[in-house]
Amino acid sequence: MDSQTPFEFLSHRHSVPVRMLADPVPDDAVLRQLLTAAARVPDHGKLVPFRFHVLRKPAIDRLARLTLEIGASQGRDPDKLVKQAAAFGDARLTVAVLTHPRQDSPIPLIEQEQTAALACLSLVNAAQAAGFAGHWLTGWMARDADFLRAGFGIAAPEAVAGFVHLGTPRGHPPERPRPDLDAITTWVLE
């Protein structure tokens, strides 16, 4: 973050594609700090409706294999499967952020899933703030019953809110277009 103020950081924060994430990746001690920061999210009902699965090689390669095997068994497009598996192949450190909703709670499922999503963004931001970078991906694997069972031993309504890949950025990704504030903002004055 260097000499950036927190506001400057938030104004320029960004992801780095997993193919541009290299070693070194956070060690366990640093990762615990990043996860602690990522878990500090707004949470209606204080349900903590998310879980972290920390994956290093070769556990990440197992997800690549499952993507190819399960995807093929379901007749998915082979070219897309190769690309989706390659993201796991490129990754050195992946945190699967799982939704862990409480069904006996009056808090709507969508709000619990939103809290899990906040943890994904916070993890990407925490990584960048600590001098690393992150990339939040999903794909069909995030909600597919076969993949969730084989990969994580979970079933709906649990799912993957995000595969958050972490590492050291190799170069600067091009800035992507950002929303036109005036096109998305209505100032309601009375």
Nearer to ligand FMN, 49 or 188 (CB): 49
What one-character-per-residue DSSP string does 137-178 give? E--GGGT-HHHHHHHHS--TT-EEEEEEEEEEESS-PPPPP-
Nearer to ligand FMN, 92 or 135 (CB): 135
**Minimal distance, residue 161 CB to ligand FMN, in Å:** 7
Give the separation between CA 64 and CA 84, rounded to whole angstroms.
8
Which of 68, 139, 150, 170 binds ligand FMN (CB under 6 A)? It is 139
By CB under 6 A, residue 14 contacts ligand FMN: yes
Contacts of 99 (CB under 8 A, 6+ apart): 49, 50, 112, 113, 116, 157, 158, 159, 160, 161
Which of 32, 77, 138, 172 binds ligand FMN (CB under 6 A)? It is 138
Site string for ligand FMN, 96-135 (x = CB under 6 A): ---------------------------------------x
Nearer to ligand FMN, 46 or 178 (CB): 178
In sign, the C-alpha dihedral spanning 166, 167, 170, 175 is positive
Nearer to ligand FMN, 106 or 139 (CB): 139
Give the separation between CA 32 and CA 93, rounded to whole angstroms.
13
Residues forming the site for ligand FMN (CB under 6 A): 14-15, 135-139, 162
